[in-house]
């Protein structure tokens, strides 16, 4: 029996890691076999590339893009596809939509090239449901700045190279996410991330419960 693939997308401070972990726990309580993965990460190669990317070392936009795609290709081969084939629910904390938003709309790399690389890295297997936690970048970055090191979010949601980008960059990223949701209404759901954690979680559960 084929599994179900769910991804969380959104800008900095939108609450993706928190909501992804809450959904995984809710699904398990409901009797589903679910696994939470993060991008980049959840494989040896992905974790290695993640540490480089969040470390702040200088890297060109194209190299940054290819690092994300390499991590994604390994994640698909090693974790996502085997889990889906076993009938599990796979939850991804970020996926290909982030590459379009950040490297495409944010960095200005040609969208058609990114889409081709996404197709190549994923083998054409995209999430059955993408949950976009939409939040004003000013609010999201404010949350990030208030975050204390000892209160790390689930899965080690550490600061990364994007949190120091300009507000104009984050505005472009947000537009990129919203455009993808507009273009893919059958698989994307926009959820207001400005509300309380419990209110957002209820909306997430409602969206997931509508999956066939």
Which tokens in the block code for residue 212?
A: 């066939």
CA-wise closest residue to 94 among 118, 62, 60:
118
Contact 79, 86 (CB under 8 A): no
Q: Which pLDDT score, from 0 to 100, does residue 144 have? A: 85
Instruction: Tell me how far apart the alpha carbons of residues 137 and 42 are, in angstroms, rounded to a whole number.
Output: 27
Residue 161 — pLDDT band, cuts 50, 70, 90? low
pLDDT in tens, 162-184: 877 889 999 999 999 999 999 99
Identify which has the larger pLDDT, 76 or 55.
Answer: 76
Instruction: Give me the sign of the Cα torsion angle 106, 112, 115, 120.
Output: negative
Q: Which pLDDT score, from 0 to 100, does residue 55 have? A: 78
pLDDT in tens, 8-39: 999 999 999 999 999 999 999 999 999 999 99
Asked if pLDDT for residue 94 goes beyond 70, the answer is: yes
Report the 3 state secondary structure along the chain. CCCEEEEEECCCCCCHHHHHHHHHHHHHHCCCCEEEEECCCCCHHHHHHHHHHHCCCCCCHHHHHHHHHHHHHHHHHHHHHHHHHCCCEEEEECCHHHHHHHHHHHCCCCHHHHHHHHHHHHCCCCCCEEEEEECCHHHHHHHHHHCCHHHCCCCCCCCCHHHHCCHHHHHHHHHHHHHHHHHCCCCEEEEECCCCHHHHHHHHHHHHHCCC
Residue 49 — pLDDT band, cuts 50, 70, 90? very high
Asked if pLDDT for residue 142 goes beyond 80, the answer is: yes
Helices 44-54 & 61-75 angle (0-180, nearest 10): 150
Residue 54 — pLDDT band, cuts 50, 70, 90? confident
């Amino acid at each position: 029996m084929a599994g179900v693939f769910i991804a969380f997308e959104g800008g900095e401070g939108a609450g993706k890691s928190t909501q992804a972990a809450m959904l995984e726990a809710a699904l398990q309580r409901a009797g589903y076999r679910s696994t939470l993965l993060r991008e980049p990460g959840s494989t040896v190669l992905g974790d290695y590339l993640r540490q480089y990317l969040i470390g702040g070392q200088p890297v060109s936009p194209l190299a940054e893009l290819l690092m994300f795609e390499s991590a994604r290709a390994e994640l698909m081969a090693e974790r996502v596809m085997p889990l889906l084939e076993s009938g599990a629910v796979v939850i991804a904390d970020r996926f290909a939509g982030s590459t379009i938003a950040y490297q495409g709309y944010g960095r200005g790399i040609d969208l058609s090239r990114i889409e081709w690389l996404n197709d190549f890295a994923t083998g054409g297997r995209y999430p059955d449901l993408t949950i976009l936690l939409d939040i004003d970048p000013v609010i999201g970055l404010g949350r990030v700045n208030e975050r204390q090191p000892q209160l790390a979010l689930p899965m080690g949601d550490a600061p990364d190279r994007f949190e120091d980008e300009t507000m104009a960059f984050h505005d472009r990223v947000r537009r990129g996410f919203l455009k993808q949701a507009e273009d893919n209404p059958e698989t994307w759901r926009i959820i207001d991330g400005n509300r309380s954690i419990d209110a957002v979680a209820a909306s997430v559960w409602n969206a997931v419960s509508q999956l066939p």
